[in-house]
Amino acid sequence: GAGKHQTPIWSPNGQYIAFVTNQNDENFIWTIPAQGGNPVSKTNLAISTSACELLKWSNDGKKLYFKSGQLLKTIDLNTGQINEVTLPSEKLTGAFSISQDESLIAFVSLDGEKQQLLVYNSIKDELIEVTEKGDVDLFPALLPDNSRIIFSSNQNGNYQLYITDFV
């Protein structure tokens, strides 16, 4: 159909694909059977005029994690209700990674012009500082072992990939 379709992700069971459609500067989340069929809108109203990116389908298949502007949100696929994921930082850059078991969320926090890579452990309600404030840290990706993270940073003046332990 009409609009720009983007950020597709697979459901945990591989039976569905979720994606965002941007039409007339409004974003809508849809799902469609992986083998084809009619897409189903999961939002009744446009969720945001800001950038929207699907990040992860929950393991139980009931919700989607997505980035809306600088915020991390979820949508309940049965009700369409959207909730903001509360993280212990006031200034977010919109860079997120969610662990496979959904217990950890890596994100970049902004303090003035200084960025810092953090990991929030939702089980322990613990905030882990991965990098010092100052470098430009981007694109965090948690590794499946839940103890390491890979990210891009300009620590040496040029953007390079770094991998580090955080537990």
pLDDT of residue 121: 94
pLDDT of residue 100: 93
> CA torsion sign, 81 to 84 to 86 to 87?
positive
Q: Is 38 exposed, middle or buried (0-12, 13-18, 19+ CB in 10 A)?
A: exposed
pLDDT of residue 62: 95
User: CB of 7 within 8 A of CB of 54?
Assistant: yes
- Quick one: what percent of the chain has pLDDT higher than 70? 95
pLDDT of residue 83: 92
Lookup result for tokens 């970049």: 108
pLDDT of residue 1: 59
Name the pLDDT band for 47 (thresholds 50, 70, 90). low
The conformation of residue 138, written as its DSSP 8-state character, comes to E
pLDDT of residue 115: 84
Extract the tokens encoding 128: 């882990």
**What is the C-alpha separation between 15 and 6, in angstroms, rounded?**
18
pLDDT of residue 73: 92
Extract the tokens encoding 18: 């979720």
pLDDT of residue 4: 81
Tell me the CB-side half-sphere exposure of residue 166, using CA atoms within 13 A.
28
pLDDT in tens, 51-69: 788 999 999 999 999 988 8
At residue 18's C-alpha, the angle toward residues 65 and 71, to 5°, is 25
What average pLDDT score do residues 80-98 get? 86
pLDDT in tens, 106-151: 999 887 777 889 999 999 999 999 988 777 888 999 999 999 999 9
Q: What are the respective helix, strand and coil percentages of the chain, to the nearest 5? A: 0, 55, 45
User: CB of 21 within 8 A of CB of 4?
Assistant: yes
